[in-house]
Structure formats: structure tokens, C-alpha cells
Chain A
């Protein structure tokens, strides 16, 4: 099975900061990589699909990049509402999918 590893596990940053989260796959997944935002008590929300495509309705301060085994999610200017846990997910593995362990983003 394909394993996904995110780093860091958590981070604390200030409003306006640029934040980058990394996600690494144990094998080549091309661009079969999605990013989700999860807030406590809420359903997860799709932010980025196919590694770099912005989901409709998601603010443009969110962006994704990468291919193969290494990917990043960047928030260009952190906002108070961005406090959440972010997950990467691979969707190439024969319809057997895996999420990263999550990165918790806190606002200082």
C-alpha cells in the first residue's frame, strides 16, 4: 500500500505569514494527490485536487504543487479562519486510498 507522510505534524504561525506543508508518498503517484481542510465539528473540505488545481470556491491564497512523490500545500497569507488540520490524500492506488496523518495549523 502507498503511505503518505506529512511534515510538519503541527505548526504555529501569525496572520499574514506564508505557510507550507509537505506531503511525501512512498511511491510515484503522478498528480493523484488531493488536499483537504478539516476543522473540529465540521466536515472535511476539498481544497486542492490533482496536486495543483484549486477547488471551486476555495480562496486563491491556497495553492498546491508537486508530482511524483513530493507535494506541497501553501497558504500565501495565513488568515484567522485557516486554523485547521490539513490532510493530503493519494487516489492512485487501485481505488484503495490513503490520507497523510495531518498537519495542524494554529494561529499565533
Chain B
């Protein structure tokens, strides 16, 4: 069964740092672009970042550029999100997501999410 499991969320003070991890099972992340998506309390979904299979390309939403770093370790079948200079408005559930290309890219496998609270 294809699965993604996030970890590393928690409570952190404004200005602090946190590192999220995501471990995949049932497939090889090295074959896929991967991404992070978040949802703040009572708000909609927000795409955060994408990373190519070999880490040669990374893309971020403007609000996290310069503060967040997406990375991966294909040997460990894992994805990461290093979050620095955290702000109250970064409070969200963060989802690790697989990107699939069937003509157009879509996000077909989602983890259950890990909660980050900045307060």
C-alpha cells in the first residue's frame, strides 16, 4: 500500500525553527517530484514547496521563500521541510504529497499531516 507519514510537528515560538520529516512506503520517492502543502486553521489549502527527483529544482510559495527549505533523501525514501524564522501565520497542518504526471501534474498521494503551532 502506498503511504506517506509525516512527523516533526509541534509547538514553537515565533522566530524558532522546526524540521518536518515524511517517510514513504509502498513506492520509491526517487521516482517522483514531491511537495508540501499546508492548511491553516479555518483556512484553505496552500501549496508550499516542490522538489524534483534529484533535488536540482526547488520551488516555493512567496510567503516562505528564504525561510523554508525543502529537501529529500532518496536513499531513506524521505522528504523534509526545514522551517526557520517561523511566524504565527505559519501555524498549519502540513501535508507531505506525491506529485504524479499523467499529462499534467497532480498531487495523488497525501500523508495524514503533522500540526505546527507557532505561538
Instruction: Give residues in A with beta carbon < 8 Å to B.
Output: 1, 31-34, 36, 38, 42-46, 49-50, 53, 55, 85, 87, 89, 91-92, 94-102
Contacts and interface: CB of A to CB of B under 8 A. Distances in A.
Given A34-B104, A55-B108, 17 more contacts: A32-B105, A36-B45, A36-B107, A42-B112, A43-B95, A43-B113, A44-B107, A45-B110, A46-B106, A49-B100, A49-B102, A49-B103, A50-B103, A89-B107, A91-B106, A95-B50, A102-B44
B104 A87 contact: no
A38 B113 CA distance: 13
Contact of A50 (B106, B107, B111, B113): B106
A53 B102 contact: yes
Contact of B110 (A1, A33, A44): A44
Interface string B88-110: 00000001000010111111101
Q: Is the interface of B mostly helix, strand, loop or mixed?
A: strand
Contact of B47 (A38, A53, A89): A89
Interface residues of B, number: 25
15 contacts: A31-B104, A42-B112, A43-B112, A44-B110, A45-B110, A50-B103, A53-B103, A85-B44, A87-B45, A89-B106, A89-B107, A91-B106, A92-B104, A97-B50, A98-B47
Contacts, number: 72
Contacts of B61: 96
A44 B45 contact: yes
